[in-house]
Chain A
Amino acid sequence: MKRILIIDDIKDRAAWLRASLELADFHVTGVLAWEQVDEHAIQAAAADVIIVDANAPGRDTLEQISLMSTTLEKPVVVLGGKKDQQSIQEAMRAGVSAYVAHTIQSEDLSEIIHVAAARFLEHKRLRDELKEARNELVERKTVDRAKGILMADHGYSEADAYKRMRSMAMSKGKRMAEIADAIILAKELSA
């Protein structure tokens, strides 16, 4: 059974990854935030593999710890977000490690990567969806505000105000929210 240390500042993602790996019968010996990472914490986790986010600034810290202490040279699985079979395979070929990966079977590593990569991806998708939903809400509010301005300043009905904005958006090749932003900005400038 391979022992795994997860280093991630995003708590829910780390928890999720941990649960998934444990479900796949891996033993997660620790979850650390980057500010907790030092030689003692890495040593204490006694892991065979470390999983980190490719874009975490703290990766440089980990490099120094590994290089200065030969006993802490661990395979580090570096994950991003794109679900791309080819890049997983490339990562595999590369040894998925900045450090020496002799001690671990590539089949084990393969499974860890697959489980972890899938979870990272899932997490990113959900975040994106949430962000999109939030953006939509903001945009709808902006459009409503712009509509209000047109109705008050030009006496349009709500439907007319909307129609005018829509035809403007279509003829300029812009999104409704952008047109609405422009109307609000123009109003603020003239105020």
Chain B
Amino acid sequence: MDKSKLEAVVASAQAPEQNSRREFMKQTGAVLGAAGIMSMVPMGTRSAAWAAGSDAPELKEVKVGFIPLTDCASVVIASLMKFDEKYGIKIVPSKEASWAAVRDKVVNGELHAAHILYGMVYGVHLGIGGNQKDMAVLMTIDNNGQGISLANQLKDKGVTDGPSLAKLIKAQPREYTFAHTFPTGTHAMWLYYWLANYGINPISEVKTITVPPPQMVANARVGSMDGFCVGEPWNARGIYDNVSFSVASSQDVWPDHPEKVLGATDEFVQKYPNTARALVMAMLDAAKFIDAESNRAKVAKIISAKSYVNAPVDVIEGRFLGNYEDGLGKKWHDPNHMKFFNDGKVPFPYLSDGMWFLTQHKRWGLLKDDPDYLGVAKQINKIELYKQAASQVKVAVPKDVMRSSKLIDGKVWDGKDPKQYAASFKVRA
């Protein structure tokens, strides 16, 4: 199915000059208030009453922001394969230069929704590092597929993994610098969790900086960091460019961890519930499509284009298919590679997933006090809306809004006692 259409999409994605130019024109934009709260539009009140059939989208065009990363694939595919049109909307993907810009544009309404870091949505909702705005997670975009890399010069010092890194830092003290992609985001949390697992305190013992994903490898090349955590394809790119090597994938830290989400403001969901639902339906179709193993190579080719990830297809495709190498000579197939669907288990916005980021924000001092973990997650993760969308496109919905996971340090997270969990870590801010 969809074969010839897919071929056409592959072909057109390779020559998208015109589109990208148009996108670019759109982006060179307005005077922005960072994290601004726009004019206070009265909230809509029609979110409660929904019945299948009365669901014409309020908006025809839905602008969805993304950052050049492998997991922006579902936004791109939902648009290029025209899954959006099946549900009466047109997704306009908008490539953004920084997570800060994604946040600002979602908050001020310039973007309706975005491919966005899970923890970042929670950070904005709680007003960490900026103005507070009530936010929404419509669905999870992907699990797995991020990674931690170390600069090649550490290899020469005998560092090949977490324990040897910890040994070096203790034996040869200096300012070690590690980069992630945003202070409240997922990569910061994977990096911190991983470092802490080897007894390295990411707040007090090393310096952390933020670098946008597409700039990561270039920054590592000029020697401004000892390691970084970023989404693919940028870890693979670091190996390809002979700049860095892999010490861990994010699924090593937490198998099937939540990563990017489809994020929006709560205001958007209240005002345009049908549009939000249609968007989730199109994104679920895309997720299903991408997870079909036979489509993956083509999807890799499509997103490699300049207007999307802008990286060699070889760099994207390997890890996208689960074929890993670490740049130290080891090669393996990882069954827990980046997933978008996994029988409906990936996209479901588990409350325990959202709460986990709050526990880590608390652990690392981004939150001073314990928030109402469950209450916040219930406000942000739009479980009901998701269920409506899933039932429309016949996607199985997990029974429980919590799930249980075992992380790299052996600790189990099941969402039951977040306050105790957040306080249970020895290494902390």
Contact = CB atoms under 8 A, between A and B. Distances in A.
A90 interface: yes
**Interface SS of chain B: helix, strand, loop or mixed?**
loop
A93 interface: yes
B52 interface: no
B383 to A, nearest CB: 30
B29 A66 contact: no
Contacts of B183: 63-64, 67-68
Interface stretch (A19-27, A50-58, A155-163, A180-188): A50-58
Interface stretch (B35-43, B318-326, B343-351, B406-414): B35-43
B33 A64 contact: no
A36 B175 CA distance: 18
B366 interface: yes
B125 to A, nearest CB: 15
B27 interface: yes
Given A90-B33, A93-B37, A94-B34, A63 B129 contact: yes
Contacts of A117: 31
A94 B37 contact: yes
Interface range on chain B (Cβ under 8 Å from partner): 35 or more
A112 interface: no
Interface in B97-120: 97-101, 104, 108
B115 to A, nearest CB: 15
B250 interface: no
B215 interface: yes
A56 B270 CA distance: 31
A59 B33 contact: no
21 contacts: A54-B31, A54-B101, A55-B28, A55-B29, A55-B101, A61-B211, A63-B129, A63-B182, A68-B183, A80-B30, A82-B31, A91-B36, A93-B38, A94-B38, A95-B33, A95-B131, A96-B33, A96-B36, A97-B131, A98-B104, A99-B129
Interface of A: 38, 54-68, 76, 78-82, 84, 87-88, 90-99, 113, 117, 124
Interface of B: 27-39, 97-101, 104, 108, 128-131, 181-183, 208-212, 214-215, 366
Given A58-B212, A61-B209, 13 more contacts: A55-B27, A55-B29, A55-B101, A56-B98, A57-B212, A60-B210, A63-B129, A63-B210, A65-B210, A91-B36, A97-B34, A98-B131, A117-B31
